[in-house]
Amino acid sequence: MHFPKSRWGRTLLTALAAVLAFAGYVTASTWRTTGARASGERLQRMQASPQWGGALGESRFVDPLPRTQASMLSMTQKFFLDGSEFREPTTPVPVQARSAADFGTVDDDALRVTWLGHSTLIVELDGQRLLIDPVWSERVSPVTWAGPKRFYPPPLPFAQLPKVDAVLISHDHYDHLDCETVSALATTSGAPFFVPLGVGAHLESWGVPAERIVELDWWEEHGVGQLRLVATPARHFSGRSIIMADRDATLWSGWAMIGPHHRAFYSGDTAMFPGFAEIGERLGPFDVTMIESGAYDSMWRDVHLGPEQAVTAHRMVRGKHLLPVHWGLFDLALHGWTEPVERVLAAAEEQGVTVSTPKPGGQVDLSSGRRASRASEAIATQRWWPQLPWEDADTAPVVSSHLVGLAAL
């Protein structure tokens, strides 16, 4: 092989070698965290799903409505070069520290939600303790040295996690499905994992035994104790590959948790779509809803709800108390870090919706019977975040491109 002898030739070779070395390093770093693709019987079941293929017969899951969004180049440029100057906190975020001692036996009439930040939740419902979208890692990224970083440490150290009866996963994005947390749960907990179709392949690759994985399509359900766990439709997408080679290769969902005394709803990640009304009709009303409210932008209005539509979705599923989630922990959009909750509160006041805003690690207790007086105190709004400038719905609207059938709301 002939090697260039000029200075520029040697520089070019050195640069090429550096690029190849870095690409190899990134590939090695992400090999495990990316997860695994479905195959065999798992893939066959996915392909039999009504959500697979769509009208064009594509080899992937398809949204219930078409998705309109800006180009990837435009979104990337604005994400790194534009946006609010208040996207991250400049002072420590108030956190309610928790330990295993804060979690005892779950009463048969219990309804208590502990918000650990973003979309990680512990839901204690009618005798069962459920862990939702658990993320304990420092970053939500395929690598440990780059990507969105926590604003604060986990309010509940992983070593203090109490016994849980089930783990619920909404979809396979890094801020909801954390490789390291799942791997730890595979060895420290015997709880089953409930996931949308295809996500089980990731879990198995990280050490979760197949017998502990329950994969569900939309509207399918499974029992845990006295509870019905129902995978509900959502309007989003999936994928973990940094080159998007696995785009929509697994399903995404919300979760309805239905007990003999209480009902709770978790939206997962979703944009607005008429399916919320059907969820409310079939499975509601819900004593509490946990609905994604952050990481929105008009450039991807068919991927996330945004605050105002989160309040509308809460009403559509027939919710009583709204706990906004998916905000306040990671910088995932262009808006200020406190903007989602400010806009939720403004929209909720207009629409007559009760909102609970616990600080990270805080709890919302809506249990029946003897806890009624304590519960009434817990649902009050707590303004624990700083007063920062934010854009309202008139200045920066986020409205889904497809609102057919929702005009009456």
Q: What is the pLDDT of residue 406?
A: 46
- In this predicted structure, what is the pLDDT of residue 77? 86
Domains in the chain: boundaries: 7-36, 72-378
Rounded Cα distance, 401 and 404, in Å: 9
- The Cβ of residue 321 has, within 10 Å, a number of other Cβ atoms equal to 22
- Count of C-beta atoms within a 10 Å radius of residue 187: 9
Look up the CATH number of domain 72-378. 3.60.15.10
Instruction: Quote helix, strand, coil % in the chain, to nearest 5.
Output: 25, 15, 55
Low-confidence ranges of the chain (pLDDT < 50): 3-4, 18-23, 25, 370-378, 404-409
Q: What is the pLDDT of residues 184-224, one digit of tens each?
A: 999 999 999 999 999 999 999 999 999 999 999 999 999 99
- Residues 383 and 357: beta-carbon distance below 8 Å: yes
